[in-house]
Structure 1
Amino acid sequence: MKYLVRDKLFAIGDDYWIEDERGRHAFLVDGKALRLRDTLELKDPTGLVLITLRKKLLSLRDTMTIERDEATLATIRRKRLSLLRNHYRVTLVEGTELDVSGRLLDREFVIEYEGELLAHVSRRWFRVRETYAIDVVREDADAALLIAVAVCVIRMAEKEREPSDD
């Protein structure tokens, strides 16, 4: 199933809807302002928090955690960087690893498990530049988790691009 995102520059406190392919609200990304660390919540249309994304405060590399029911579900770190593609590794709490690779800032990337495609993020399906889709390929996949991963790595890539205050 494809989910549509109207792209914008992400900032703390920004809220936006992710719609299903029929145009119905599927998930709300709720940016939590005035928090000590970068925090986002992925909610269902009724307002129920499905997943919480948090930036780790003390880590050598930029790291975010994905939490469900206040328990850590996964950790996301940048794997390696090449000139054309970003690579992130998503380590689920039970040890499973997902690989995220592609051009994140262009919204052209994939999420894979052991070489098997789980989700494809692309702008190619749309004429409007500010819109991209998250296509969850496997029917048995956890759509909320894969959408959270996509939102998280895009946010991390945007933050890396920002000039540092050092």
Structure 2
Amino acid sequence: MKYLVRDKVLAIGDDYWIEDEDGRHAFLVDGKALRVRDTLELRDPDGRILITLREKMLSFRDAMTLERDNRRLAVIRRKRLSLLRDHYRVTLAEGTELDVSGRILDREFKVEYEGELLALISRQWYRIRDTYAVDVIREDADAALQIAVAVCVIRMAEKEREDG
């Protein structure tokens, strides 16, 4: 299933809808203003919080945590630097690791588990400016998690570019 994201490079407090491939609202990214650290909530169309995305404070390396029901779901960290590709590691609470690699700032990257493609993030399907798709490949993959991972790594890459 493909989800359409109108990329805003959000400021804190900005909200935006992510639509499914049929144009229906699927998820709301709710930016939380007036917080000490960067916090977003991924909500369903009825307003229920599915995943909370938080900048991890006092971390040696930049990291973001994903929480579901006030419990840590995953931690996302930059894996290594390469001239051609960015790499991030998503460590799920039970220890499973996902690999995110590609050209994050160009919105051309993938999420894999042990070499198996879970999600493909790309602008190639859309000619609309500042729009990209999150294509959740596996039917049994957690779409909310895949979208939260995409939003987090893009925010982390953008912040890294701004910082220098």
TM-score under structure 1 length normalisation: 0.97
Number of residue pairs the alignment of both structures matches: 164
The answer on whether the counterparts of 1:53 and 1:65 sit within 8 Å (CA) in structure 2 is yes
Distance in 1, matches of 2:9 and 2:19, equals 18
The within-5 A match list for 1:3-18 is 3-18=3-18
What root-mean-square deviation, in Å, do the aligned CA atoms of Structure 1 and Structure 2 show? 0.7
Distance in 2, matches of 1:161 and 1:11, equals 15
Residue 136 of structure 2 aligns with an amino acid whose one-letter code is V
The answer on whether the counterparts of 2:9 and 2:155 sit within 8 Å (CA) in structure 1 is no
Q: Which moved more, 1:89-98 or 1:1-10?
A: 1-10
Shift of 1:112: 0.1
The answer on whether the counterparts of 1:123 and 1:129 sit within 8 Å (CA) in structure 2 is no
The within-5 A match list for 1:12-161 is 12-161=12-161
Q: Structure 1: 5+ residue runs without aligned partners?
A: none
Residue 2 of structure 1 aligns with an amino acid whose one-letter code is K
Distance in 2, matches of 1:49 and 1:131, equals 24
SS at match of 2:151: helix
Distance in 2, matches of 1:51 and 1:155, equals 16
Identity across matched positions, percent: 80
Residue 4 of structure 1 aligns with an amino acid whose one-letter code is L
Structure 1 consecutive aligned stretches of length 4 or more whose deviation exceeds 3 Å:
none
Residue 34 of structure 2 aligns with an amino acid whose one-letter code is L
Shift of 1:146: 0.6
